[in-house]
Each structure stands twice: as C-alpha cells, then as structure tokens.
Amino acid sequence: MLSHVPEFSVRIADGPCDIRQAQALRYDVFVAEMGGDGPCVDHAARLESDRFDGFATHLMLEDLAPEAPRRLVGVYRLMTSDMARQAGGYYSATEFDLAPLLESKRSLLELGRSCLHVDYRGGAGMLKLWAALADYVAAQKIDLMFGVASFSGVNTADMAQPLSYLHHFHGAAPQISPIAQTDNAVAMDVIPKDRIDRKAAILAIPTLIKAYLRLGGVVGQGAYVDYAFNTTDVCLILDTELARARTKTMLHQGDSL
C-alpha cells in the first residue's frame, strides 16, 4: 500500500533507455510475479522483451511525487497498422487469426504489454494511462483497439466459469472476431449460459480484463494457452468512441478501473 499521494504523469518513451525501463517493469510483473518465461526473457538483466518493442510506441506512467520510491509505475505498448507492417505483423497474430479485424477496413491499434507495479493497482493509475491512450487514438484516428489479455496460469479447467462468462456475455460480433490459433486454442463456451455462476465468474476475471469490459470491451472466439508465458489469453476488442466516452465519464466521477 502506498504511503504517499501519487503525482501521475504519462509520456511516450523516448529512446532505448526508456524502453529498457519499460522492459524491466514488465519483467517484474510478468516474469517475477506471474511466473512467465520464454526465449526473449533475459533473467540476468531482468528484462522482458520481444521483437515488436523496437517498432512500437510505449506509454510510460510515472509517479513524480518527491517521496515516491520509484518513478516508472506503469507501461502500455501501442502498435498502429503502419508499425505492424514494419514489424512484420501484430503480436496478437502469433496467437489469434486476425483476418476478421484486418478485413474490416477499420483503423486499428494493438494494445499490449500493459502492466502496473503492484503498489499502484486498484487506483487512478490505469485511468491516467487510459486518458493518455484516448488522446493518442484521437490523434491517430483509430476506430478499433485490440490486443491479448491474460489469465495467469494454463489450467483452463479452473477458468471454465470466467471464460464461459466472457464468451456468452461479452463475445464480439463475428465480423470482427479474432479466432484463437488451433495449436494452443481452447474453447471458451465450456459451461452453458444458463448454468454460469455470474458472481463467481466475474470475481475470477483478472482486473485488467474487467477494466476493458467496463470500457465496452468484447472478446474473440476461443482462448490461447501460452505455456511458455504461463498464461491463458483472450483477444479483446474495443470501439474507441465507446471507450473514450466511458473513460471520460469515470474520470469525471472520480471512479477507478
């Protein structure tokens, strides 16, 4: 728990040193805390990176309060379609067939590698990131945002309630719905809609995914089990106009994600 009032500021990473700081925070969260691993994890340097980092825009949430024990407390990686072309594709395409999204002819922005330091979760930090993201998507004239969001762990039997809930109550329209790749794909509609324990299901959904749902997020078809990273992933899609309107409403009300 924080012992001070944060003074949040969001900026875009400026060069390799900033990106390295973002990768270090990602290591703390995704690897040290959540148990992730993989060929791009540098345990000696405590960095979590991949080949997409050098092509993306990185939002950096900083706590500028003089008494703050750390400065960088949150990150978000953004990839426009132009960036994806330079990178050879979107990260999400390594897990999901994005053809419905790509064929929609909508202006797209991929969201990824979002995380907050453990001391800053449940407060205003994510809202500050979302406010900065809203400005970015407005400037880039983005129609749809999408990206991989994760449950910790790979035992999908334990996730039957939340995965089924997402499928039945927050499924994307077929014309924009990404589909989990067959090798590591699992069905999400394990439990019939009328047998879902909605309270238990919602409690089991990770905080970030619930935040996306509050902003109008919907999910694609099927989940992808990432054994190397120790996660089970869903593909979320958000309409930018809806997300922007809901973010502004929550900021006005002093609400948190």
What digits encode the pLDDT tens for the residues 75-93? 999 999 999 999 999 999 9
Taking alpha carbons only, the member of 105, 104, 93 closest to residue 235 is: 93
Of 78-87, 116-125, 152-161, 219-228, the poorest mean pLDDT is in: 116-125
SS3 18: helix
Calpha distance 98→233 (Å, rounded): 14
Q: How confident is the model at residue 253 (pLDDT cuts 50, 70, 90)?
A: low
Instruction: Quick: pLDDT tens for 128-166.
Output: 998 899 899 999 999 999 999 999 999 999 999 999 999
Q: What is the residue-wise DSSP string for 46-75?
A: TEE--TTGGGSEEEEEEE--TT-S-SEEEE
Position of tokens 């040290």?
32
Q: How confident is the model at residue 211 (pLDDT cuts 50, 70, 90)?
A: confident
Calpha distance 235→122 (Å, rounded): 22
Position of tokens 């959540």?
34
